[in-house]
Amino acid sequence: MLELIGQKAGLKVMDKVFLITGASGGIGAAVARQAVQIGYRVVLVARSQSSIQTLADELGGSTHALALQGDTTQWQDWEQIIALTVAHFGQLDMTLANAGVVKGAWSFYQGDATPDEWREMIMTNVYGTALTVRAALPELVKTKGHLLLVGSVLGRFFLPGSLYSSTKWAITGMAETIRQELRGTGVRVSLVMPGRVDTAFSEPDDNATPMISAEDVARAVLYAMSQPPHVDMSEIMIRPTGQYD
């Protein structure tokens, strides 16, 4: 199926370089595996060097995958990540801003206050995404590349009392403002909004709607990337069949 995606779009992806944040597991790792399968070279970014190095080795080593430890909320880390990417692969063509966390109380009103956990979530989900974009864009403009942001269905529908949902609304707004800013550069901007995904973030709930897998979301990401350069798939919402919000 992945080979067919590339063939139908007439893609030449063997020389394309794809940077993925939050690559140590879940959606990020699934995207990396599928991207390498159809010929992309990938740069894996996460806070844990051991996890992404294991994945890079699985994907064929430094010829196909470069593992770079870094904190997306630290600008000095980003300066090094971009420099090492270009030094190793020579270019940057696609970037997936995927790193995110769920932390702290789910309510603004009830339960214990969790200021430190909230700070970490806001910094990672919003500030970290903004720094990812700012660091990657100069190289993406050079290659007329593709910027992809992982948002959420909760960035389109309100979840009462949820600060996490609010951070995803920030990503929804960020994606559109970036897309408008980049008119005329040839860079495409896609917002991918998953519903309930079966990852480490998911909490067991017998009453919850069915879940999709990280691999399902990865196929949506690769589908957006498979479109010809003149087609900008601005938004993709992907939910389990039957999810009501």
Catalytic residue positions?
164
Query: How many whole angstroms separate alpha carbon 152 and alpha carbon 168?
Result: 6
Exposure letters 92-112 (e unless 16+ CB within 10 A, then b): bbbbbbbbbbbbbbbeeeeee
What's the rounded Cα separation, in Å, for the pair 19 and 24?
A: 13
Nearest to 241 by CA among 215, 218, 211, 202: 211
In order of 66, 224, 234, the CA distances from 36 in angstroms are 12, 16, 23
Burial label, 203 (beta-carbon count in 10 A; 0-12, 13-18, 19+) = exposed
Neighbours of 143 (CB within 10 A): 15
